[in-house]
Amino acid sequence: MLLTLLLPACTLFSQPPSQTELDPRFVRGGLFLQTPLEGTQPAGSGHILPMPWTPGQSLTLEDWSGTAPLRAECLSLFSEDLGDASRLAASGAPPPDTALAFSPDGKLLAVGSFMGQVLVLDAWTGAVISERTLGETMVKFLAWSADGQTLYAAEQSPDALVHALAPETLESRWTLRLADRVQSTPMPASDDRFGLYDLPAAYGLSVLEDGSLIVAAAHGWTTESGRRNQSQVLHISAQGEVLHTFPEEPVEAMVRHPRHDGEQLVLVVTSSSDLPAPESMPVGGVQVLTLPELKPSASHTLEPLLPHFSRVFLWEALDIRGDQLLLGPSDGRVVLVDLSTNEAITVELGTPVLSGDVPIASTISTGLLYKDQALILSSETSIPWGAAAPELRPPSAHPRANAIWSYDMQGELNWTWSGEQILEGMTPSPDGTFMVVGAGPRSSDTRRDLFGALIFDLEMQKASGEQRLETFCATESPVFFRQAATNDGRIAVVEHPIADEDGSIRGSYQVTVLR
């Protein structure tokens, strides 16, 4: 194989007409070829040759020559159908919850569907390695053991099972029933669009360095006498034995979304119960626990942002790294807490502002800590719950809605990015070199060329958001807010169907791997 890198050309163009059957296409960190060469990896319908390149760089490969483009192309390697979700789209239900996880070596991709299906795919070609349907369930989370020899799957179902599966067959090595701790409720009626979310579930599943698991079990449901909550965090051995719990017994609250740095764990604590929550629980805030013993070490609560919000609600915008704690409540605040001093810095990113006489806000949908920065995703504009008519369409866009934000730990802005895509979820690569941001359904227009995923470089120094944008990976349909990535640049997204304005259903429920 002959490969020559020349000095950057004065004129930038994607590439001249192909001079051979190679027909290379520039993807992030390499070339996509139709013809295999030494050093290439079969991928989808072609082959990838790993090779760093820069915009404007002239290249010669065998008897082909060309010039690198200004921005990488993103290609679909394969898609795998996950079943018919058109009924969900037609009913106005939320996009189907779907779990994704690449194996530690990047060779396999595990997929857990809304309908209870678990798939293990060859992560380069899409070939199905193993397949199993777990039953009346929604697969909420997937995680691999460090050696790739066990796949863990956690459900939302009447039983709320956690499974340890053999990847090559998906046979169960052990199961643990979370409903034994947080109670069970039956499957909802088939026409109940949101009833599944009242079933017990794992709201978080992660594998620690020693191979043990952290699972947050939670259940919020309605009885004849009112709303109830039950939850508990479990530390589970690789053999399925419960080693530690927090609290010692399940509590009348919702303890969910664990994030950890290997030594400590932070959890969201909320309550939707008509019964009082335990006074020891920081409802409307977070609880910090030591690992692996799950002993309380700190907590932090926030006061409601009156008059527009009567309570504090946190979802998945939280993270912990050493003494640094990130909180992103739905009222639009970004809160950076120093646990060593308990001092907090608040950035009023998406907090309510007036558009005429109507308050508008942008919630914090996702947040994570990366090295010395807090990465934040602000949602589309909404009218706060406490407003007179929160169900109305906002009269204008919040000035900081639907954007990516990077702050240092003192609350100073590093960089930001916004575009025409509707942003859904952030997923960094395992090595933290890049980040995937999904592009989901659009509420204000019917453009069909803005679904997919955006890829941002996290390693660039003193660069703007636009400079960090490496490529946009277009898909046929909107993508779900959970994605997955490998260090070599592949990303996995879940596409889902949507209802057009005329009521017709467009798109498919499928997993797509791009490069």
pLDDT in tens, 459-475: 998 999 999 999 999 99
pLDDT value at residue 190 = 76
- Taking the C-alpha atoms of residue 351 and residue 333, their distance in angstroms, rounded to an integer, is 6
pLDDT of residue 444: 65
Its pTM stands at: 0.92
pLDDT of residue 16: 43
Q: How far apart are the first and last CA of the chain?
A: 23
Contact 285, 255 (CB under 8 A): no
Residue 259 backbone dihedrals phi, psi, to 5 degrees: -130, 140
Specify the CATH architecture of the domain 134-301: Beta Barrel (2.40)
Within 10 A of 189 (CB to CB), how many other CB atoms are there?
A: 7
Q: What is the pLDDT of residue 503?
A: 74
| pLDDT given at position 445 | 60
* Sequence ranges of the domains in the chain: 3-67, 134-301
CA–CA distance, 406 with 326 (Å, rounded to integer): 12
Contact of 204 with 143, CB cutoff 8 Å: no
Please give the pLDDT value at position 432.
Answer: 92
Report the pLDDT value the prediction gives residue 191, as an integer from 0 to 100.
73
Q: What is the mean pLDDT of each run of 10 residues along the chain (515 residues)?
A: 39 40 87 90 93 90 87 95 88 88 98 96 97 92 97 97 98 97 92 85 96 97 94 98 97 96 95 92 95 96 91 92 95 96 95 92 95 94 79 87 96 96 95 95 75 95 94 94 96 92 84 97
pLDDT on residue 357: 87
